Amino acid sequence: MDFILGGLVKAFQLLVHGDRETYSAVLATVQVSSLSMTASLLLGIPLGYLLGYLSFPGKRGLRTVVDTLLALPTVFIGLLVYAFISSRGPLGEFGLLFTLSGIAIGQSILALPIVVSLTATAVESLDPSLRLTLSSLGASPKQIFLTSIWEARLGLLIAAVTATGRVLTEVGISMMVGGNIKWHTRTVTTAIALETNKGQFATGIALGLVLLAIAFAINLSLSFLRRRA
């Protein structure tokens, strides 16, 4: 229990005294999570809408593939992204390896199936008469899309919360693609892994509490939006 209490005390000290290393990891985590969630939502919501709204041959098989991708291991995504953006990969010329942008690409791949699957579920759960009503009123495809998305907004918020939680807590992608470089690509999760391996359990617990606070703040904000919706 001593190291747990020590972690609580140290967490308070790190935050109050503005520890530069801690806040650097926090800033990197917020930046990369914001990039990855923006990309996954911009891509995932339209794709999830099409998957849930349209009927086409092979839809059931495609839905099964998307649902299977929900369990993608983060280390596999990290390995795949590393292979593509390394100096020998097809995207090596862009210099994305060991950068926050490279981590964001991997985390976007991690979050995308979650957004697509939950958006499709939310759209499928809409009242079937909504489509008929909008079509009979002469609504354009864009108007049908916007109206359907608005009606499914609670499901979209759930998708955003779920994907954000997965992105915030992942380690494999950040470690493999980012390299855990101090002051540069070290996130809160990779810092926790590093400090724990060094035997600095108090620091690891402190960083874990910081990560928990970030996740709580994000979920609290989304819960507020959900109540407003």
pLDDT in tens, 33-79: 999 999 999 999 999 999 999 888 999 999 999 999 998 899 999 99
**98, part of any domain:** yes
> How many separate helices (H) and strands (E) can be counted in the chain?
11, 0
CATH code, 129: 1.10.3720.10
Contact 172, 74 (CB under 8 A): yes
**137, part of any domain:** yes
- End-to-end CA distance of the chain: give it in Å, rounded: 43
The proportion of the chain whose per-residue pLDDT surpasses 70, expressed as a percent, equals 96
**156, part of any domain:** yes
Which range is least confidently modeled, 61-70, 147-156, 176-185, 192-201?
Answer: 192-201
Contact 86, 97 (CB under 8 A): yes
**2, part of any domain:** no
- The predicted pLDDT at position 229 comes to 60
- The predicted pLDDT at position 201 comes to 74
pLDDT tops 70 at residue 3: no
**8, part of any domain:** no
**198, part of any domain:** no
- Domain, as residue range, for 81: 23-187
pLDDT tops 70 at residue 1: no
**204, part of any domain:** no
pTM beyond cutoff 0.75: yes
**16, part of any domain:** no
Number of domains within the chain = 1
